[in-house]
Amino acid sequence: MNARSEAGAGSRTESAGQDDAAGRTDAAGRTDAPKRADAVGATDAAGRSEDVGWDEDGAWRTAAWRSGSGARAPRRVAVADDRMAADLAYRLVCEGTALLWRGDYHGARQLLAALGRRVDRKPPKQGATPRESFHLYRQARTRRARVLGMLLVPLETAADGSWAVPLRRAPRVGEACAEAYGPPPGPAGALTLVSLRELQGVLGAHEWRRKGVPIEALGGARIHPRHGVFSPVRGEYVDLVARAPLPRAAGAGFGEDAGLREDAGPVPETGADGGGAQGSEDSGGEDPGGLTAFDIGTGTGVLAAVLARRGVGRVTATDVGEQALACARENVARLDVAQAVEVVRADLFPSHEAGRADLVVCNPPWLPAKPTSVLEQAVYDPDSRMLRGFLTGLGARLAPAGEGWLILSDLAEHLGLRPREQLLEWISAAGLRVAGRLDARPEHARATDTAAPLHAARAAETTSLWRLRHAEEAPVS
Ligand SMILES: C[S@@+](CC[C@H](N)C(=O)[O-])C[C@H]1O[C@@H](n2cnc3c(N)ncnc32)[C@H](O)[C@@H]1O
């Protein structure tokens, strides 16, 4: 099904504005135009792009296409190197021609930065409402990702069977690529194309995985995220799980924890701790070793590990992502809580054999919007699917005196994407009630950066841990 298409746009020579190192001209002030190139992304039966082909030095070449974020293979590819001017490169990628870099690796990085500056010259428009501004912002981010994703680098199967980038001054990528993609395909010399931006993400993820993220709630112990797995860099939601009072084990009595607000109303303007959990006792002072918990959508396993460190006897952690499951298993083993935490593949709740739990924790993606890449799936929850699935199924999996802990930021409310009333309605329709709420103010840089997009909504954001119980269970006064 390979249909070639012209990439004539790449054949014009132009001089460049030399505001960056990547826009290079030769001694005569000319900029090298890309070699004429036609390319096509072949598609598999499911319609996904699998490989890519292009003309280079008069020969037709093909390579496998890789995109961890699920981007389609480009349909037109032109060969480029350090002589290409940034303005010309920008025009080509905007027109839909991907650039396969054959020059110096650092030149490719500089060109990517130059392309980024050009995309950013046109900031996202402000909408008439926060909701409209959010959609315009996402549109702009999607376009940015698409344009910057058009600068490609080759990945090769090296003679020793590892991944390598066959470019001058390229970094070692073997371990990072093997972690993200598995072993390289084909014999030595087999070629794969990947966007430089993605490769940078893979290398960055490798560093995160190697170094880990220190978690205050784990006494500074580190969680090691993986490529494509939600990383707990925002510590405030983890702290909420670390300090919320644990419910009592089934059969230990139905008491509410003293000192907690019965509150689903507005959050105070200031102060990090709206919930006032200080002074409340875990499990009414009982040993939490008898407690069972589910951690729904465990990601790195961080919340399951926090619960285990708090002494919860048995935690079943679920996820649907293969990388997340492997990552969570690795983290719980590193943190020496594997005897208390079982990581299982499940869509939301573990199988019914796991019964009901005293505590069911869930930190779903916070924004109801469609992810545009695989990597966005931990941030965007289309139609609040995971949130609603958790709430709808919670009652059936919660022990009689158990608690569901829903961790959610109200950013969606500030952006006009999901009103508070909607959340409260879902909670009540699921036969649940709000037994209390702990709040925290995000401390990440964007919350205070007045120049950051969507600043007003981000500045007003509060992250909450909603304590949910069976509605029919009367609170003890
Ligand atoms: C926002 S991340 C939270 C990860 C982790 N609990 C934390 O707090 O850092 C949401 C997680 O839910 C997982 N997930 C999404 N849909 C799911 C489903 N239907 N069942 C189980 N897990 C799911 C995602 O793979 C992701 O790891």
Q: Domains in the chain and their CATH numbers?
A: 8-208 (no CATH), 212-470 (3.40.50.150)
Instruction: Provide φ and ψ at 280, rounded to 5°.
Output: -80, 150
Handedness of CA 436, 268, 429, 474 (dihedral sign): positive
pLDDT in tens, 220-232: 999 999 998 999 9
The pLDDT value given to residue 311: 96
CB of 333 sitting under 6 A from ligand 1? no
CB of 350 sitting under 6 A from ligand 1? no
Q: From CA 181, how far away is CA 67, in angstroms rounded? A: 9
Which residue lies with its CA nearest to atom 25 of ligand 1? 321
Cite the DSSP H helix spans in 31-123.
Answer: 86-94, 105-120
Helix (H, G, I), strand (E, B) or coil at 32: coil
CB of 319 sitting under 6 A from ligand 1? yes
Which residue lies with its CA nearest to atom 8 of ligand 1? 363
CB of 318 sitting under 6 A from ligand 1? yes
CB of 302 sitting under 6 A from ligand 1? yes
Low-confidence ranges of the chain (pLDDT < 70): 1-49, 250-286, 444-453, 474-477
Which residues contact residue 302 at a Cβ distance below 8 angstroms, ignoring those fewer than 6 apart? 215, 218, 223, 232, 238, 331
The pLDDT value given to residue 34: 38
**Which of ligand 1's atoms lies nearest the C-alpha of 304?**
6
Which residue lies with its CA nearest to atom 15 of ligand 1? 297
pLDDT in tens, 408-427: 999 999 999 999 999 999 99
Question: 316 alpha carbon to ligand 1 midpoint, in Å?
Answer: 14
Q: From CA 437, how far away is CA 439, in angstroms rounded? A: 6
Q: From CA 307, how far away is CA 292, in angstroms rounded? A: 10
CB of 6 sitting under 6 A from ligand 1? no
Choose which residue among 224, 295, 298 to substitute to test ligand 1 binding: the one with the highest number of ligand atoms within 8 A of its C-beta.
298
